[in-house]
């Protein structure tokens, strides 16, 4: 039967390690700190931010939530980011997406100091990822969480045919780069891709991040494929489903469930990146 990838367990194991690392840093006089900026009152964003705040508190990481009204100007948001860039108590800065339409997300991402860019979206960090730089730099947390899962369930990516469906800066593009850096043979597909069915049928690994319920059926993939479902969609009846429909319960395929697959890993990796940035900023390291 289809084997589910247990993102919750892998994330919990990682959090145990993070909590231990935080205690060691605090013993050295270093308390990792993250600032999260939420602009507006988007319900989904409020849930995401609450989960991030709770995780930070549980792990001993200082967390500052900055709530700004929807009417906040771009200039005021950039000024707040400048303040956080200059604050030595803040190691990591996250601006929750989506932002109101009048605010340019690219300018906001570029305004965060690269050494505090916990999401890995600053152009300098994106460039380091694409160049496969050997020095430390923060990387996008969802793709990084997926790579951590793959290390447990598909450790040998060399030469594997990997298909990434969706090309957002949040998941698709950094995912492609990380898999390429791991020596997989990567195809990045999007709405204009031709012969997508054939690409799906021959891929060893498929990462689906399109935000469309049941976009991909497991029956369309190889019998031994590993499928990572990044999507989380709420149906009219209130239920949550991913971008993938498991219609092959008796196959040998691997699949991340929704919820409980990629989501827990994203938050765990956000906390991991925060303590890494704290180490980078520390004079003790």
Active site residue 82: no
| 3 state SS of 228 | strand
C-alpha span between 19 and 275 (Å, rounded): 10
Nearest Cα to Cα of residue 65 among 26, 94, 101: 94
C-alpha span between 81 and 94 (Å, rounded): 10
Active site residue 83: no
C-alpha span between 154 and 28 (Å, rounded): 37
Q: Give the CA distances from residue 272 to residues 22, 28, 62, 137, in Å, rounded to whole numbers and listed in that order.
A: 10, 18, 13, 13
**β-bridge pairing 33-39 and 62-68:** parallel
Task: Tell me whether residue 50 is annotated as binding.
Answer: no
Out of 15, 52, 80, 160, the active site residue is 52
Task: Tell me whether residue 54 is annotated as binding.
Answer: no
Out of 6, 91, 96, 222, the active site residue is 96
Out of 62, 91, 117, 119, the active site residue is 119
- Number of C-alpha atoms within 13 angstroms, CB side, residue 255? 28
C-alpha span between 192 and 189 (Å, rounded): 8
Task: Tell me whether residue 232 is annotated as binding.
Answer: yes
75 CB-contact burial (10 Å; exposed 0-12 / middle 13-18 / buried 19+)? exposed
Active site residue 96: yes
Task: Tell me whether residue 61 is annotated as binding.
Answer: no
Catalytically annotated residues = 52, 96, 119
Residues of the binding site:
166-168, 232
**Annotated binding site for NADP(+): which residue ranges?**
166-168, 232
């Amino acid at each position: 039967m289809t084997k589910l990838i247990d993102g919750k367990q892998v994330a919990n194991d990682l959090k145990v390690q993070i909590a231990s690392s935080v205690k060691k840093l605090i013993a050295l006089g270093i308390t990792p700190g993250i600032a999260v900026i939420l602009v507006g009152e988007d319900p989904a964003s409020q849930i995401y931010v609450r989960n991030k705040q709770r995780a930070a508190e549980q792990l001993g990481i200082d967390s500052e939530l900055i709530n700004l009204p929807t009417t906040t100007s771009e200039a005021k948001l950039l000024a707040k980011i400048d303040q956080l860039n200059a604050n030595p108590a803040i190691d990591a800065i996250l601006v929750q997406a989506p932002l109101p339409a009048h605010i340019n997300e690219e300018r906001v991402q570029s305004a965060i100091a690269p050494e505090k860019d916990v999401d890995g979206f600053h152009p300098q960090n994106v460039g380091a990822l694409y160049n496969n730089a050997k020095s430390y730099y923060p990387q996008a947390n969802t793709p990084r969480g997926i790579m951590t899962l793959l290390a447990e369930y598909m450790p040998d990516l060399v030469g594997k045919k990997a298909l990434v469906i969706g090309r957002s800066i949040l998941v698709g593009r950094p995912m492609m780069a990380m898999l390429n850096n791991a020596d997989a043979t990567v195809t990045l597909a999007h709405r204009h891709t031709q012969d997508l069915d054939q690409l799906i049928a021959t891929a060893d690994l498929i990462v689906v991040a399109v935000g469309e319920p049941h976009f991909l059926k497991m029956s369309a993939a190889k019998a031994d494929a590993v499928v990572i479902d990044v999507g989380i969609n709420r149906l009219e009846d209130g239920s949550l489903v991913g971008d993938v429909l498991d219609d092959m319960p008796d196959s040998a395929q691997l699949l991340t469930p929704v919820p409980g697959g990629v989501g827990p890993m994203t938050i765990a990796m956000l906390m991991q990146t925060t303590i890494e940035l704290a180490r980078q900023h520390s004079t003790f390291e």
